[in-house]
Structure 1
C-alpha cells in the first residue's frame, strides 16, 4: 500500500510565492500546485547541479573548454567533479579516462549527464506523485548494453546531493541499485495519454551545446489530462544572474562558469514568470518577476522584430526566417540572436523583451512525421506566455497541442511573438511558404 509523503516544510518555498499561488488557486477553485512547484523546483536545481558536475570535467585546467565550433571526440580525463571543499559529494569518484558521451541513432549526442539527470528528476517526481505519468527524452537501452557507461551514470546519481539536508530529504530516496535506476529512466518512455497528469522533461536540452560549454537547459513541465501546460520550469546552468538583473541578452558563448545558473518558472494563470539564481543548497529567493502586461503596452512594429534562431538546427530552415525578416523590414541577419537549445531560445525571448520573436519553418513538408518532440517545448511556452512576452501558435495559427503523445503531431512549425505583431508575422510566414512552393 502506498503511503503518501508528508507535506513539505513551508519555509523551503519562500513565503511570498506560497501566498501568491494559494491565493490564485483558491480564487479559481483549481488544484493547489504549491507542493508540485516546490518539489519540481528542487528537482530541477539538483539535476542542474549534476550537469555542472559533468561540465566541470570539460572546463578543468587539464581539459580546456572546447572551441565554439568543435565538440570533444576523445575521452575526457582530469580531475574530480567538484572541488574538495564540497563535503556532500563522494570525493573518491573520478571520471578519469572514461567516456562522457555516445551517439544516438540519429547521430545526436547523449551524455552520462542526460541519463543521470532524467533518473533523478523522475525519481523525485514519481516518489511524490506516483499516479502521474512521464514523457522523457532518454531511455535506458544504451546503458543496458554498456556496463561501463551505466556504472558512470549510477555513480553520478548516487553522489549528487543538495547541501541543505532538509531540501535533500524532501526530494525523497534516490535509486538504490542500477536496475532500479534503469527502470526509473524508462518511466520516461510513456506515451503521455490523455486523462492523466503527465510530466514532460528534457534532462539536457542542447546536448551538443552542453559539450561545447555553451548554453543548455534542464526542463520540466506538468501537463494536465488534456495536454495543457500547468507548470513550467527551466534550469539554465550556464546563464549568469547578471544577464537577468541587468536586462542583457543571452549569448551562446557568454556563460557563467563560476555560479550555478538561473531557474525560470511559471504556473498557469499566475500572469508572471519567476526568476531565481540556483545554488547547491535550498531554493534561493526570487530575484525578478517578469510581467510584460503591466501598464499600457504599445504595438510592436515588424521592423523592430529581433529574431531568435539557430542556423545549425537540422530540423528547421533558417533561410526562410531570413526571407521573413527581410519582408518584415526587421534589419540585418547579423542582428539575430543565435542559440542552439530550444528551451534557451524561449528563455532569450522571455528575458529579451516584447520585440523578440521566433519563427520555425520545418524542413520536412506537412504530412510527414512531426520533427519536434513535446519535451523540446513544453514548459518553456508556458513561461513565455505567463510572462506576457507574447503568443505561441504553429504556422497555421493553431495553438500548440501537447496532448498528442511524444510528438507534436497536430502542429506544423512555430511562431512565438508579441500578440500585437503575431498576426502580421503569421501573414508574412504564409507569404514565404507560398513563395517556396513556386
Structure 2
C-alpha cells in the first residue's frame, strides 16, 4: 500500500534484498524529508556551477582550512531556505560571514553574489551576510546542522566532497542527507564519477537509509552495510589528509587486526557513504598528531553517522561511546570516531584497547 508520506514527497522508493519500502511511517517528518532532499539537489547544483565556472578562489580560515565560493553560497542557500520553510528552526553551520563582510575578499563576495543571483536576482551583499550568518545559531532542542562543502580540499583538487545536512532534535539526529556528487552508489558498489553524476543519500531515524542518483533520480534504493566478519579482509577508509588523523595509530590498528589491504584515502563524509553502501567496512578518525586537537564539529558527522546506523552499521567514538550531539557545536564528549558494518565493531574496539595498553 502506498504510504501517505510517499505521495507527499513524490519519490519512488524501492526495496532491496527484502528491506521494506521507505518511508514506513514518516508523517511526523515528511515536510522535513521533502525539504532536505530538495535542498540537497539544489546545493549540488550550486557546487557544480562553481566548479564548472572555475570559481575556485579560496580563503583560509583561522584553522588554516580552505573555504570557497561554494561553501558560502550553499550556506547562504540553507540560511534562507530553512528560515522560509521552518521559521522557528535554528541553523548550526560551519561558516560565518565575517571573512567576506570585512571587505578583505571583495572578489569572493562578487562571486558569491553572482552564483546566488541566478536563483534570486534580488540578491545583495547584505542579504548574503544575513543568510550566511543564520548558520551561527546556538544548538537548542531542535536545529539543523550543515557542512556546505565537506572536504573542501577534495572539492578543489577534483576528489570527493559532500554537502551534509542533518536535523537534530533533543540531542538525537533524526534526519540526515548527504550529496556526494563524485560518488555513484549502487548495490554495494561505490564508483568515482565526474560531472555531478554522483548520489544523494538520506536516512531517517528508525526508518532505514536510502540512496538515489543525484541527477533526476527519484528511485531510492535501500542501503545496507557489508556482511564482512573477518577483520583481515576489512576495507578501511580514512581521511585523505595525513594531518586529519594519526597515521601511526591507524597503522598499528591495521597491523593488530591483520588487515591485508591498505586503508583507502577519501575526503569528506563520502567515507560514511561507502560504509553505508557496503563498499567499505571500517571508518576511523584518530586525534591528529600534527596539530592542536580540536573536538570534532557536529556538522562533520551528524548526517553521515545516521546514514551508517540506519544502513545497519554502528558508529561510536574510539572508546565505544555513542556520539553525543547535545554538547554544543562540537562532539566535546567524544574522542575520535569508529564507524563499521557492526560485525567488525567489537574487534576494532578490542584492537584500539590493545594499542592503548601498549602505549601505556
Identify whether the pair has TM-score above 0.5, normalized to the shorter chain: yes
Indicate the residue corresponding to 1:159 in structure 2: 118
Conserved in 1, the CA contact under 8 Å of 2:199 and 2:212? Answer: yes
Indicate the residue corresponding to 1:206 in structure 2: 151
* Rounded Cα–Cα distance in structure 2 between residues aligned with 1:181 and 1:292: 40
Indicate the residue corresponding to 2:182 in structure 1: 238
Indicate the residue corresponding to 2:17 in structure 1: none
* Rounded Cα–Cα distance in structure 2 between residues aligned with 1:384 and 1:124: 27
Q: 1:128 aligns with which of 82, 85, 102?
A: 85
Indicate the residue corresponding to 2:53 in structure 1: 57
Q: 1:290 aligns with which of 223, 226, 231?
A: 223
Distance 1:332 1:291, change over 3 A: closer
Q: 1:347 aligns with which of 273, 287, 296?
A: 273
Q: What is the DSSP-based 3-state SS (H/G/I as helix, E as strand, rest coil) of the residue aligned with 1:410?
A: coil
Establish whether residue 114 from structure 1 lines up as the match of residue 39 from structure 2.
Answer: no
* Rounded Cα–Cα distance in structure 1 between residues aligned with 2:332 and 2:122: 34
Establish whether residue 184 from structure 1 lines up as the match of residue 143 from structure 2.
Answer: no
* Rounded Cα–Cα distance in structure 2 between residues aligned with 1:185 and 1:409: 24
* Rounded Cα–Cα distance in structure 1 between residues aligned with 2:285 and 2:6: 43
Q: How many residues align?
A: 348
After superposition, where does 1:33-432 map in structure 2 within 5 Å? 33-58=29-54, 100-145=57-102, 146-160=105-119, 176-193=123-140, 196-224=141-169, 226-240=170-184, 244-245=185-186, 247-250=188-191, 254-257=192-195, 259-270=196-207, 272-279=208-215, 284-292=217-225, 300-310=229-239, 312-333=241-262, 336-341=263-268, 343-353=269-279, 356-363=281-288, 370-388=294-312, 390-432=313-355
* Rounded Cα–Cα distance in structure 2 between residues aligned with 1:292 and 1:408: 24
Distance 1:364 1:197, change over 3 A: farther
1:10 to partner: Cα distance: 5.0
1:184 to partner: Cα distance: 1.5
TM-score normalised to the size of structure 2? 0.88
Distance 1:276 1:331, change over 3 A: same
Distance 1:175 1:419, change over 3 A: farther
Conserved in 1, the CA contact under 8 Å of 2:43 and 2:163? Answer: yes
* Rounded Cα–Cα distance in structure 1 between residues aligned with 2:231 and 2:32: 39
Which structure 2 residue ranges, 5 or more long, are not aligned? 15-19
Larger radius of gyration: 1
* Deviation digits for residues 3-35 of structure 1 (CA, Å, limit 9, x no counterpart): xxxxx9956522659x96664246xxxxx1111
Which is richer in strand?
Answer: 2
Q: What is the DSSP-based 3-state SS (H/G/I as helix, E as strand, rest coil) of the residue aligned with 1:134?
A: strand
Conserved in 1, the CA contact under 8 Å of 2:283 and 2:338? Answer: yes
Q: RMSD over aligned Cα, in angstroms?
A: 2.6
* Deviation digits for residues 305-328 of structure 1 (CA, Å, limit 9, x no counterpart): 211112524232022111111111
Which structure 1 residue ranges, 5 or more long, are not aligned? 1-7, 27-31, 59-94, 161-172
